[in-house]
Amino acid sequence: MFILNGIGYLLILLGSLFLFLGALGLFRMPDVYNRLQAGTKATTLGAFSTIIGVGLVETDWFFKTLIIAVFILMTNPIGSHAIARAARLTKIAVAKITAQDKYEENHLKQKGSDQNASNF
Q: What is the per-residue pLDDT across 13-58, written as a single tens digit (0 to 9) for each?
A: 999 999 999 999 888 888 888 888 888 888 899 999 999 999 999 9
C-alpha to C-alpha distance for 40 and 32, rounded to whole angstroms: 12
The total number of structural domains that make up the chain: 1
Q: How confident is the model at residue 120 (pLDDT cuts 50, 70, 90)?
A: very low
Q: Rounded to two decimals, what is the model's pTM?
A: 0.75
How far CA 56 is from CA of 14, 62, 114, in Å, comes to 14, 6, 56
| Burial track 23-32 (b if 16+ CB lie within 10 A, e otherwise) | eebeeebeeb
* Parent domain of 24: 2-118
